[in-house]
Structure 1
Amino acid sequence: MLKDLFIGLSQNQFLNSAAKKYGLKLGAQSVVAGTNIEETIRSIKELNAQGISCTVDNLGEFVYKREEATEAKEQILEVIEAIHENKADAHISLKPTQLGLDIDYNFCLENLREIVGRASKYDMFINIDMEDYSHLQPSFDLLDELSKEYSNVGTVIQAYFYRAEEDIKKYKDYRLRIVKGAYKEPEEYAYQDKKDIDTNFVKLIEWHLLNGKFTSIATHDHHVINHVKEFVKANNIPNDKFEFQMLYGFRKDMQLQLAKEGYNFTTYVPFGKDWYGYFMRRLAERPQNLNLVAKQVFTKKTNTMLGLAAGAFLLGRLTKRK
């Protein structure tokens, strides 16, 4: 029920619009690194100074207009140039739907090709983030096409999908980020029970650590992190074969501690005004995340808006049932 609530909130247009308008007043700076490139580069450099690398996400997805997809592409190209010019330790994460996947596959491919090509000039990695199941195979198809020309591209494996084990074996020679999964997927395609997802998550991590090129372990779960530490030690896996990843604004102390312990660490750095849907899906993915940022993010005004949106969501559910 809680996961459904957060997914519903992420799709609430009123709250999304309000978040864009009042983001900073609502505490958005605690979960996004900036609303523009200059602010974001400053945040990246602060993290770099503490031994932390970054992957940068230009917030926004599910774009249905060509001009919006083109605008997103140009924004990402600007970020690539800014990272290079500022000698920042960072790479790019992007979503195919933001670049036109729902408009036209070839249009999206050309946008991605331009981005990956520009990043390749600077020896910069591009990660293709995975979205919901309806976009899963097309996203892998885009990776296959881009890989014919470039080697600086990888993607994400979502542990809640039944097909994840097959996908991770197919793409073992790629740099992969392994996550649990943040969308609500039908039982036909994905595990529904948390224990099943957690078990598969650890299974995939272990397999790719032993057999893959480079593994990005994206989790805030200290139990998983401690397990990985023991696993790599027991199997003599060198630190340059993997990294831990966490979201900007979440478990800051643990991020710094892992970096200090000598592990490669990357913070997922989102920027832009379209932060609300992203944040709600992070809570849907792991409701415990709410506790990690509650004191930093939630004000009386935020809680009021959450209450209004939750009420609207529940009312909508009841109306549909009737």
Structure 2
Amino acid sequence: MSLTRDFFIALSKNQVLNSGAKKWGLKLGAGKVVAGTDIDSMMKSVKELNAEGIGATIDNLGEFVFNREEALEAKMQILETIEAIQKHGVAAHMSVKLTQVGLDVDHKFCLENMKEIVAAAADYAIFVNIDMEDYNHLQPTLDIVHELLKDYDNVGTVIQSYLYRSEKDLEALQNVRLRLVKGAYKEISEVSYQSKQDIDHNYLKLIKIRLQQDVFTSIATHDHVVIHEVKKFAKDNNIPRSRFEFQMLYGFRSEMQKELAQEGYAFTTYVPFGQDWYGYYMRRLAERPQNINLALKSLISK
């Protein structure tokens, strides 16, 4: 399992394959978990989710951005997506990775791009979630989040439970809307828990800390054991359902997503789209090696 995970994580970081994938269209089974390569196809998927009582957080995929031109292009695509959310009147908000808009180019440049994005979203009362990436980008990301929070209240970020420092980061952001996840990158033992048991334990610990605070929290997991524990904890502690939501990825456990929404829990699906799908898809294969079947079936059918 570990070798398989490491293999796909390594593939996700391969810039040559990532560049090539932009020319392929959705291949290798990626169409099952990526909602198209353009805004129109993505919006169709979001409207279908909304019809089931499910909201969306939209990720205009993009990675390996190391020059200003690509970062500015990504910013314009995100702004177009915000306009599309408003135009179509869908229940949706944005998720943005800072490396996509210039974090690896220049800190100030990235901050200015994000200010433009968050301000445009604020005009339409649209929330912007700043996704968390690997450990090397963690502190720079948090620095920009704190800068944005000085002027905007429609912005939040992600806490990854596999990092030792996450409880302190949670405390520093206790009045901010957050998404809690286990974590999708491979990190060294000096900074992160390595066993599933330790990661799961810390994840539930962080969730329970947050649920007792009067601030909205997104609990992003496909783990039915965690979901059951959260539901029980909320009920036992009289925590209103308006204080939290469950999130899952587009294309995963779709029936459970509908069931939770039907049970009256707030639910949001993470909806990725765009031509830059390769790195995202490889990380999904790393997380859930059974999804390799999707890729194999796609290859065999070609």
Give the unaligned 5+ runs of structure 1.
305-322
Q: Output aligned runs, 1:27-38, within 5 Å.
A: 27-38=29-40
After superposition, the Cα gap between the structure-2 partners of 1:297 and 1:259, relative to the gap in structure 1 and judged at 3 Å, is farther
Cα offset, 1:301, TM superposition: 1.1
> Which residue in the other structure is 2:299 paired with?
301
After superposition, the Cα gap between the structure-2 partners of 1:159 and 1:6, relative to the gap in structure 1 and judged at 3 Å, is same
Cα offset, 1:303, TM superposition: 9.5
Quote the sequence identity (%): 60
Q: Output aligned runs, 1:80-229, within 5 Å.
A: 80-229=82-231
**Letter aligned with residue 91 of structure 2:** D
TM-score by length of 1: 0.89
**SS of 2:129's equivalent?**
strand
Between 254-263 and 185-194, report the one with greater CA deviation.
Answer: 185-194
Residues 170-203 of structure 1: CA distance to partner in whole angstroms, max 9, x if unpaired?
1011110000111111111111111111100110
After superposition, the Cα gap between the structure-2 partners of 1:64 and 1:214, relative to the gap in structure 1 and judged at 3 Å, is same
Give, in whole Å, the separation in 2 of the partners of 1:110 and 1:14: 29
Give, in whole Å, the separation in 2 of the partners of 1:171 and 1:120: 20
After superposition, the Cα gap between the structure-2 partners of 1:302 and 1:164, relative to the gap in structure 1 and judged at 3 Å, is farther
Q: Output aligned runs, 1:9-88, within 5 Å.
A: 9-13=11-15, 15-88=17-90
Residues 35-67 of structure 1: CA distance to partner in whole angstroms, max 9, x if unpaired?
001111111111101100000001112310100
Matched residue count: 300
Residues 223-280 of structure 1: CA distance to partner in whole angstroms, max 9, x if unpaired?
1011111110001111110000000000111011111111000000000011121122
After superposition, the Cα gap between the structure-2 partners of 1:302 and 1:238, relative to the gap in structure 1 and judged at 3 Å, is farther
Cα offset, 1:23, TM superposition: 3.4
**SS of 2:72's equivalent?**
helix
Give, in whole Å, the separation in 2 of the partners of 1:108 and 1:302: 42
After superposition, the Cα gap between the structure-2 partners of 1:283 and 1:297, relative to the gap in structure 1 and judged at 3 Å, is closer
Give, in whole Å, the separation in 1 of the partners of 2:20 and 2:143: 36
**SS of 1:161's equivalent?**
coil
**Letter aligned with residue 297 of structure 2:** T
Residues 141-162 of structure 1: CA distance to partner in whole angstroms, max 9, x if unpaired?
1011111110000000000110
Does the aligned pair in 1 maintain the 2:22–2:277 contact within 8 Å? yes
Give, in whole Å, the separation in 1 of the partners of 2:268 and 2:259: 13
Cα offset, 1:34, TM superposition: 1.4
Does the aligned pair in 1 maintain the 2:160–2:182 contact within 8 Å? yes
Give the unaligned 5+ runs of structure 2.
none
Does the aligned pair in 2 maintain the 1:214–1:241 contact within 8 Å? yes
Does the aligned pair in 2 maintain the 1:174–1:212 contact within 8 Å? no
After superposition, the Cα gap between the structure-2 partners of 1:298 and 1:72, relative to the gap in structure 1 and judged at 3 Å, is same
**Letter aligned with residue 24 of structure 1:** L
Does the aligned pair in 2 maintain the 1:26–1:302 contact within 8 Å? no
> Which residue in the other structure is 1:310 paired with?
none
Cα root mean square deviation, aligned: 1.7
